Amino acid sequence: MTAEVSLARGRASALSSLLWKAVKLLTTVAVTIIGLLLVTFLISHVIAVDPVLAVVGDRASQSTYDKMFLEMGLDKPLWQQFWVYLEKVLSGNFGNSFLTKKPVIDDLARAFPATLELATVGILIGTLAGVPLGILSAVKAGKLPDQIVRVLGLVGYSAPIFWLGLLGLLVFYAKLGWVAGPGRIDIAYEYSISPATGLLLLDSAMQGQWEAFGNAFSHIILPATLLGYYSMAYISRMTRSFMLAELAQEYVTTARVKGVPEWRIIWVHALRNAAVPLVTVVALSYAGLLEGSVLTETIFAWPGLGMYLTNSLQVADMNAVLGGTLLIGVIFVGLNLLSDLLYVLLDPRVRRRA
């Protein structure tokens, strides 16, 4: 009977601890989101743009200006304005875009899938290339392969991304004709795909539209490779650092003394431990691409979040800018949360401390 009571108490304690951790996690996320909302709200009041003029135009009469000023609630105290802003945002109301005359939430829903698709292909290329190159660089530290990988990474860091984009269009599109030009898909295929998810590659494959799939792939491969190369430079460098640290550990020396094959030491033991911090590196790289690679999307006329924010900034469309900024912040918070959860899954030591 005592053993059963102890077991029940242990289960109750574990459940209570789990619930407490969940409450702390949700509280942290909620405070972060509210802080993000406060920052975006303050940006709209600090930036040197008159929101009333952005709506009525600079030729409006004073009476029209005053009427819109009252309708927008700008006569209220700042804390009341923030409360109204908070209520609207939490209900999904980001206002209307002055540029497109549509709700900002609809514009973001249209633009974000294009960025999501481009960033996902880019991070896959960057990770699949960066991790093996980083491992090779660490294993061959100080030798020719290491020098080559480090030079490739240095070029990826140093070369302006707009220059690489223009060069890629000149060589692979204009000269060689290996890829399609700017845009997301040719107009001949644009209306043949039903937008189920907004991801053209996925939608066209699900619907068996293989010609449209090939055309969309031909459009995305060059800008995605460019972003993948940029991510690869960072991922390979960090992978090299993590692997060098792991290969210098005592457990690696012990494994070699015991005669464990070198490939198993590298790809199973060392990489498994290096994968824990590498998760955060990949997650942050992905978040950086998802925030809208402005120059890349502009050069390739990619109708994503980066181009949407660029066009909105040019006309001082603050509703659109703030909505896009908030979306970017939520992406960063979400991916950081995901990387923390993966930390717990990959590293038993973190599970014990949690």
Asked whether residue 97 is assigned to any structural domain, the reply reads no
Pair (194, 132) in one structural domain: yes
pTM of the model: 0.82
Asked whether residue 5 carries a pLDDT value surpassing 60, the answer given is no
Residues contacting 46, CB < 8 A, separation 6+:
none
Domain harbouring 127, CATH code: 1.10.3720.10
**Chain segment 168-206, per-residue pLDDT in tens:** 889 999 898 888 888 888 888 878 888 888 888 988 888
Asked whether residue 225 is assigned to any structural domain, the reply reads yes
Q: What is the pLDDT of residue 122?
A: 92
Alpha helix segments (H runs only) across the chain: 2-46, 51-56, 62-71, 78-90, 104-139, 144-158, 161-168, 187-190, 200-206, 210-247, 250-257, 262-264, 271-290, 294-299, 305-314, 318-346, 348-353
Which residues make beta-bridge pairs with 103?
A: 96
Asked whether residue 131 carries a pLDDT value surpassing 90, the answer given is yes
Read off the pLDDT of each residue in 93-99 and give the average, rounded to a whole number.
80
Distances in whole angstroms, Cα of residue 92 to Cα of each of 79, 147, 332: 20, 51, 19
Asked whether residue 74 is assigned to any structural domain, the reply reads yes
Least confident of 12-16, 93-97, 115-119, 135-139: 12-16
Number of domains forming the structure of the chain: 2
Classify the phi-psi angles of 102: left when phi > 0, otherwise alpha if psi is within -120 to 50, otherwise beta: beta
Are 308 and 298 in contact by the 8 Å Cβ rule? The answer is no
Domain containing 293 equals: 104-353
CA angle 207, 210, 212 (to 5 degrees): 90
**Chain segment 214-234, per-residue pLDDT in tens:** 999 999 999 999 999 989 999
CA 250, CA 270: separation in Å to the nearest integer?
11
Read off the pLDDT of each residue in 36-64 and give the average, rounded to a whole number.
72
Pair (206, 228) in one structural domain: yes
Asked whether residue 118 carries a pLDDT value surpassing 70, the answer given is yes
Asked whether residue 317 is assigned to any structural domain, the reply reads yes
CA 237, CA 70: separation in Å to the nearest integer?
54
Asked whether residue 354 carries a pLDDT value surpassing 70, the answer given is no
Mean pLDDT of the chain: 82
Pair (211, 144) in one structural domain: yes
Which residues make beta-bridge pairs with 96?
A: 103
Domain end call among 90, 122, 153: 90
Read off the pLDDT of each residue in 115-136 and give the average, rounded to a whole number.
93
| Banded model confidence at residue 338, pLDDT cuts 50, 70, 90 | confident
